[in-house]
Structure 1
Amino acid sequence: MFMRTHVISPRLWCVLFLGMVLSLSACGQANSSSASTATPGVTPTPTVAVDMYGTPISFPKTAPQRIISLAPSVSEILGALQLQKRVVGVDALTNYPASMASLKKISDKSGNISIESIVALKPDLVLTTGGLSKKYNTQLMQLGLNVIDLPSPNVSQTLDQILLVGRLTYTEDTAQALVKQMQQQLTQIEQSVKGTAPSKVLLEIDDSTPGKPYVFGGGSFGDEMLQYANGTNIFHANSTNGGYPQVSDEAIIAANPQYVVLTEDPLYGGQPSVVYKRANWGGIAAVKSHQVYHINSDITQRPGPRIVEGIRCLAQVIHPDKFIGALPDYCSASV
């Protein structure tokens, strides 16, 4: 029998940490969004782009051949840029794509990084994001490693970050093609739901503390995704905890969402069947009409190439009549 615990998902710690630094990083990311097209074989000009801390990024003079990723979202970007053969190590939470997930892990699921393992791999570029590895960055740089801590982006800035990683790894053409495809998909989704009535939605991140779930609030990554999908976040006005507030069951019941979307791992509350059994939730519109869904945590909580999939899933859940067929398999996939 499924039992909820008071242990917060390791994924949630990453989400909450990124939320707390999003405001700071957004400023830096805005300056880095002017990534320009470079001629193949020509060194990118190290201008404009800044890291998580507002420091200008110095671009490699040659294409990095031994890359380490310290964040799953960065790993997914590197995978989408077809750089698997140049990546020598990844963090413990990297699980997609499979070719990246199978690489040597240089951290544990609590975020503890092995400096020795990284040094032994002799990387010429170490990429991280949002200050997740802040306490290790200085030590790695003192050992002579090139560490770049990318800003933590919102949805639109994720496209800029993909272009930035393309510049850093000399895969600009691939990055531009990927971003163009993502932009087209986003436009298609927005056109599909244009003119529809936005329904009230609860976007839950973690329910490991009974009666006090964490949710996507105002200014958060999920809140912006929901706007693309033409849904109304019932906690849009609550931007506490960096946009990831812990709320009460009473607040949810009072807001009466028409849809409940769980984005957490099933071990931490992400099971629709359990939602229907939650005390006093029986009167919520979403529960009464059986509009409770689970969407893959990774495509709703990671600012990477699959954000478009997450937005598509949200849009189809809220506006099913605007899409043909059943929800895509990736909506409920575990990776």
Structure 2
Amino acid sequence: MKKTYIDQLGNSITLGFPPIRIISLVPSQTELLFDLGLNQEVIGVTKFCIHPEQKVHAKFKIGGTKKLNIELIRSLKPDLIIGNKEENTREEIELLQEEFPVWMSDISNLDEALDMISRVGEIVDRAPEAAYLVHLISIGFKDLQTLALERRISADVLYMIWKKPYMAAGRATFIDDVMRKIGLNNVLAEARYPVLETETIGQLNPQLIFLSSEPYPFGEKHIAEFSTLMPGAHVRIVDGEMFSWYGSRLVKAVGYLFQLQKDLM
């Protein structure tokens, strides 16, 4: 049976339903597929797909998110490929779209993430499972927002994602939306992921500096570096997966973010 779906970029794709040979091009969406119970249907993942560890280990690795092994993908003959506008390259996606059904997500806030989970659940014949995940995440984040208001949590934050050059999460990003949901204010006015000069960082005057564990692996050794740049700010390492993975990991992110809020009270 053939069905037609519209992805988050407005593209129309038609595929055999339900799909039985799925390739995921994004780590957070790979984890979502497995959490929806698609253990056999997922045949290929990227080398950056790390959750769930035992399950992704057994799958074909079709390259990195921005450098796909197109020939390997062709040889696997997928009946559905799931990617993301920000994490995959336009040229490679357009090449794959000429040969396969490619469903693309486009996510910059929590509502779009929940929409993605629902739509993916529908397209892979796991709508009830997806609806349950959406319910858990929605309730969790409503509680996080309530706690932020009740405890008057408010702090100006610089969220660093890269070094050499320094890059941070700006406005119109999923990370920015998650921070706002828990009562934190992004000190950056720029959108997306601006490159920051050392002098600029020193002028931002945040109360908190979050050093994300990914995509750049900031660690304890970097705390002193940023404390020197901004002596008045409190610097801490945060789990990047909990701020930037927009699939089923959001269920676990709720508990992590509750603890973070408590630490900031």
- TM-score normalised to structure 2 length: 0.87
How many residues in Structure 1 have an aligned counterpart in Structure 2?
262
Q: Does 1:224 align with 2:180?
A: no
> 2:248: which partner in 1?
305
Secondary structure of the 1:68 match is strand
Q: In the superposition, relative to structure 1, how do residues 160 and 99 fare at CA in structure 2: closer, same or farther (>3 Å)?
A: farther
Does the residue aligned with 2:67 lie in a helix, a strand or coil?
A: coil
Q: CA separation in 2, counterparts of 1:105 and 1:272?
A: 31
Does the 8 Å contact 1:68/1:88 carry over to 2? yes
Greater strand content: 2
1:284 matches 2:232: yes
Do residues 253 (structure 1) and 202 (structure 2) align? yes
Query: Is contact 1:153-1:303 (8 Å) kept?
Result: no
When residues 310 and 215 of structure 1 are mapped into structure 2, their CA distance, relative to the original with a 3 A threshold, is farther
Deviates further, 113-122 or 146-155: 146-155
Is the alpha carbon distance of 1:230 and 1:315 closer, same or farther for their aligned partners in structure 2, counting shifts above 3 Å? farther
Deviations 1:140-165, CA, capped at 9 Å, x for gaps: 3444x222223334222100100000
What's the secondary structure of 2:30's corresponding residue? helix
Please give the residue correspondences for 1:89-168 in structure 2 after superposition, counting only pairs within 5 Å: 89-102=44-57, 103-108=59-64, 111-130=66-85, 132-143=88-99, 145-168=100-123
Which one is further off, 176-185 or 116-125?
116-125
Give the deviation of 1:187 after TM superposition.
1.4
Tell me the equivalent position of 1:238.
190
Report the 3-state secondary structure (helix = DSSP H, G, I; strand = E; otherwise coil) of the residue aligned with 2:40: helix
- Of all paired residues, the percent bearing the same amino acid is 24
Confirm or deny that 1:56 pairs with 2:12: yes
Give the match's secondary structure for 1:274.
Answer: helix
Distance 1:317 1:51, change over 3 A: closer
What is the CA-CA distance between 1:180 and the residue it aligns to? 0.5
Over 3 Å counting, the alpha-carbon distance change for 1:55 and 1:279 in structure 2 is closer
C-alpha root-mean-square deviation of aligned residues, in Å? 2.6
CA distance in 1 between counterparts of 2:2 and 2:95 reads 27
Residue of structure 2 aligned with 1:271, choices 219, 222, 228:
219
Q: In the superposition, relative to structure 1, how do residues 133 and 279 fare at CA in structure 2: closer, same or farther (>3 Å)?
A: closer
1:295 aligns with 2:235: no
**CA-CA distance at 1:254 after TM superposition:** 2.5
Give the corresponding residue for 1:185. Answer: 140
Query: 2: CA distance between counterparts of 1:254 and 1:138?
Result: 41
Give distance in 2, aligned partners of 1:46 and 1:316: 42
The unaligned stretches of length 5 or more in structure 1 are: 1-42, 287-291, 323-335
Distance 1:158 1:137 in 2: 20
Per-residue deviation at 1:65?
A: 0.9
| SS of alignment partner, residue 77 of structure 1 | helix
Counterparts of 1:115 and 1:44 in 2: how far apart (Å)?
A: 25
Alignment correspondent of 2:168: 215
The whole-number CA distance in structure 1 between the counterparts of 2:119 and 2:47 is 24
Report deviation, 1:170: 0.5
Residue 194 of structure 1: SS of its match in structure 2? helix
- Confirm or deny: 8 A CA contact 1:276 1:282 kept in the other structure: no
Counterpart of 2:195, as a letter, is Q
Q: Structure 2 vs 1, CA of residues 161 and 108 (structure 1 numbering), >3 Å: closer, same or farther?
A: closer
Per the normalisation by structure 1, the TM-score is 0.70
Q: In 1, distance between residues paired with 2:159 and 2:249?
A: 18
Q: Indicate the residue corresponding to 1:204 in structure 2.
A: 160
CA–CA distance in structure 2, aligned partners of residues 165 and 215 of structure 1: 29
CA distance in 2, matches of 1:45, 1:147: 13
SS at match of 2:82: strand
